[in-house]
Structure 1
Amino acid sequence: MQLSWIGADLRFSYCTEHDLPEISRMLAKESVCRWLFFGPNTEEETRSYFLPLIEEIQEALAEGRTPEDHVFTIRLKHSGEFVGQCALLPVDFSPGSYLIGYQLDDTCWRRGYGTLACTFLVYFAFTVLGGYRLNGDTVADNTASRRVMERCGFVQEGVQRQYWHAGGGYYDRVIFGLLASDLAPERLSRLGETFTAA
């Protein structure tokens, strides 16, 4: 199975243990974790979460199987500079439905990388995996994340009031969804042209 994809000036690759120090540094930052329900994390906390996912991915790939979880490291195509990470995690009891996630290092904000990362997840879920539904959520006040999903075609499906407790406060959770059938065949085809083998 393919391990890396290029879209615009970014490279998306299946996450490896080699990527964990940079992911750990990113998720130790207050700025990055401001709207997350977790973090800032210690390096040990980040490793304990990501390492089992990485091991499952590597085992599946070594056996020629499609991994259950899809966690990608995002880097600049030419320099290899770390940008962030994104993921598709399967929804229990709903084959073909995935939860999306993306975090970008604060040094890479406001460059359109969040939208490109979300677009990559849409492409991968619907074109590579043949999924039928994507699920996303964010804190109501995180307007940047909301805009990313809206630009990628996600529809707001609900609000859960005071769902998350973080940083001493309670935050509403805004729920988004996108169905493969929401996208015209031409758009899915264009997504396939946007991301190529690395």
Structure 2
Amino acid sequence: MLSFLEVSHEMQDELVEFLTKERWPFHGDENPTEESIRERFLKGVYTERGSKTFWITLDDKKIGLIRLFDLEDPTCLFDLRLKEANRGHGLGAEAVNWLTNYVFTNYPEITRIEGHTRQDNYAMRKTFYHCGYVKEAYHRKAWPQNGREYDSVGYAIIKDDWKNGTTTPIEDRFEY
């Protein structure tokens, strides 16, 4: 079973080590540098200005991160990273379910949670689906990475669906 620990300012070095020792193929910066992480930390990207970051731990070992942001808005977003050795074991779904419960329980003003991934990140897309998130957007060539432009897919869950254990499909009533 996973547990979650909020990242504090004192954990900056651990965060730098964690993010620089792995490759993150479905994130904008696959190989972040120590300098870029420290700069983002100083700007409050991980722990301030409507952002919170949590370690994902398994058997007291740090295996991933969840970064929540825009927590001051009615819609917050998140970033999820699992170490390569821990991918493909259902832990992403456990983490997404935890963050969904955490946000909707602790932030009553938030009415929806949104996440985005590359079109070819099938594992994350399945995770969104299995956690009750609905595909709401498909953006062509919207994810620049490594000299290529990938398509991006957006998913969200609304608080009412979370409360009721339902999934509301998209109704597009536009007629051509």
TM-score bin, normalised by smaller chain: 0.7 to 0.9
Residue in 2 aligned with 1:192?
none
- 1:87-98 aligned within 5 A: 87-90=67-70, 95-98=73-76
Please name the residue that 2:66 is paired with.
86
Q: Relative contact order (alpha carbons < 8 A, sep ≥ 6): 1 or 2 greater?
A: 1
Number of the residue aligned with 1:195: none
CA distance in 2, matches of 1:148, 1:25: 26
1:49-100 Cα distance to aligned partner (Å, 9 max, x none): 13424553xxxxxxxxxx7222111112xx42111100221177xx331012
Match of 1:74 in 2: 56
Give runs of ≥4 in structure 1 deviating > 4 Å. Answer: none
Q: TM-score, normalised by structure 2?
A: 0.82
Measure, in 2, the Cα distance between the counterparts of 1:181 and 1:86.
23
Alignment match of 2:38 (pick from 39, 47, 60): 47
Q: Deviations over 1:153-196 (max 9, x none)?
A: 111111110001112211001011110112244x49xxxxxxxx
For 1:146, the equivalent position in structure 2 comes to 125
Q: How many aligned residue pairs are there?
A: 164
Pick closer, same or farther for the CA change 1:170–1:97 going to 2, 3 Å: same
The 10-residue stretch of structure 1 (13-22 or 114-123) with the greater mean CA deviation from structure 2: 13-22
8 Å contact 1:28–1:39 — kept in the other structure? no
When you count helix as a share of all residues, which structure comes out higher?
Answer: 1
Q: CA 1:55 to 1:112, structure 2 compared with 1: closer, same or farther past 3 Å?
A: closer
Residue identity matched to 2:52? H
DSSP-derived class of the 2:120 partner: coil
- Which residues of 2 match residues 1-198 of structure 1 at below 5 A? 9-28=1-20, 32-51=23-42, 52-54=44-46, 56=48, 68-76=50-58, 79-90=59-70, 95-130=73-108, 131-185=110-164, 187=165
- Which structure 1 segments of 5+ residues have no match? 1-8, 57-66, 189-198
CA distance in 2, matches of 1:46, 1:29: 12
State the TM-score, normalized to the length of structure 1: 0.74
Distance 1:90 1:158 in 2: 19
List alignment gaps of at least 5 residues for structure 2: 167-176
How big is each residue's C-alpha offset from its partner over 1:119-151, in whole Å with a ceiling of 9 and x where there is no partner?
111101111212211111100000011111111
1:11-52 residue CA offsets vs partner (Å, 9 max, x unmatched):
21111244444433443356x421111231111211221342
The farther-off stretch of 109-118 and 132-141 is 109-118
State the alpha-carbon separation in 2 of the partners of residues 54 and 29 from structure 1: 18
**What is the distance in 2 between the residues matched to 1:147 and 1:22?**
30
